């Protein structure tokens, strides 16, 4: 399989159906991120503090729960949020050794990756 762009996926309709759920997830995750920063500033705590550890635990549970609800692996959600900064870093991904590496910039891009058929990737 070789996709020039994410929108070239034959399963793009399935991916589009997942986008509203991912939008809800991203909005909630960004609210959790903002809350953590505000609490750190308010109480002068850092990432090693009890407050930050509890927020991280809640965040991890939320991601895992979302992954279970949508039926996909939480590692992709973690990667998109943390390493790819919700698409801002535009890290590239390919679905197979034959695929062209493409930047993951949007929730649609993520949805295409998540919904890729097993035999396609």
Per-residue pLDDT of the chain (121 residues; tens, 9 = 90+): 789 999 999 999 999 999 999 999 999 999 999 988 898 888 887 778 888 888 889 999 999 999 999 988 779 999 999 999 999 999 999 999 999 999 999 999 999 999 999 745 4
Task: Name all contacts of 52-61 with Cβ < 8 Å and 24+ positions apart.
Answer: 58/32, 59/29, 59/32
- Which tokens in the block code for residue 67? 């992954």
């Amino acid at each position: 399989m070789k996709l020039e762009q994410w929108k070239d996926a034959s399963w793009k309709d399935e991916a589009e159906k997942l986008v509203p759920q991912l939008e809800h997830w991203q909005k909630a995750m960004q609210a959790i991120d903002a809350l953590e920063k505000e609490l750190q500033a308010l109480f002068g705590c850092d990432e090693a503090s009890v407050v930050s550890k509890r927020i991280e635990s809640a965040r991890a549970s939320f991601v895992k729960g979302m992954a279970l609800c949508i039926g996909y692996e939480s590692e992709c959600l973690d990667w998109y949020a943390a390493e790819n900064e919700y698409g801002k870093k535009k890290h590239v991904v390919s679905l197979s050794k034959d695929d062209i590496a493409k930047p993951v910039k949007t929730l649609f891009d993520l949805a295409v990756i998540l919904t890729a058929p097993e035999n396609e990737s």
